[in-house]
Structure 1
Amino acid sequence: MKANSMQSFAGGLLVAAAVCGGVYYFGEKDVAPIQAKEKPATEEMITDLLAENYHVYAEEEWQDILESVAQEAYDDAVANMEPVESEQQEQQTEENIVYHTKLILTVSTGMTSIDVGNALVKADMIENSMSFFNEVERRGVANSLRPGTFEITSEMTLDQIITTIFK
């Protein structure tokens, strides 16, 4: 900004402050007093609520009601429970549970087979990224990495993973 425009701006602020100060100083001083509302007594509030068909309880009564409702719900839940047979438990413990993981791998332009190997190691699909890189180099497909999104499962072998990701 130039000095002249800066002076004009400052002059405008000074005039605005003077006008606001004059209105404040010479303005009306008569202000109506604020009337405070009186808070109704507790008994009045209770009678008003009861007249509106609300229920009003003391703290001890409310806690007793909550405890009785909770006890009834607990008793109903216990009554509806079916006993678990021991044979079902034995069958479940004898079964071997095998978890399969699925990885959605996104290969972008500029990624190398080392980057892909590191992503597979982070997802626990392979144990060593260098062995993956060495296998890719041995097959000669390191330059054939396809950009895209691939679905890799833990059931896939290293050969299947390489054929999926590389051309």
Structure 2
Amino acid sequence: MNSLTIRGFAIGILTATSILAVVYVIQENNAASLKISAADLRAYAKDHEYILIKEKEYKDSLKPDFEKQENIPKTNEVSISITAGMSSLDIANTLVNNHVINSTDEFEDLVAQKNASTKFQVGTYTLTSNMSLEQIVNTLTK
């Protein structure tokens, strides 16, 4: 390659870069001046069968169903009666049926671990669904 070829190549690259820079600046100015009104957006969405929703509605739609239930109380307060002769399984079933605990197995495991199956006291207790298993067992064995 001689110096004229290299010089021509360099001028070509410089010219192409200059043209691209000018085109970029012109397009940026045109894009900045392009404004879409809310009415235009709604009309476009309607014509193309899109549905427009607000960002909060969209984020709420992504949440699992159990997080959407804002009107349902977070705690379930119930009164449980323990009578003479009830086994820990009977008590666990009563707690599950009243939605205080989710599983009889976990309750039974904790009762066995604490050796509390014979320590349940006869009486009526107020329990809530946000109590831990430990709290429930402690309340029922006092």
- Whose relative contact order is higher, 1 or 2, with alpha carbons under 8 Å and at least 6 apart? 2
TM-score w.r.t. length of structure 1: 0.42
TM-score w.r.t. length of structure 2: 0.48
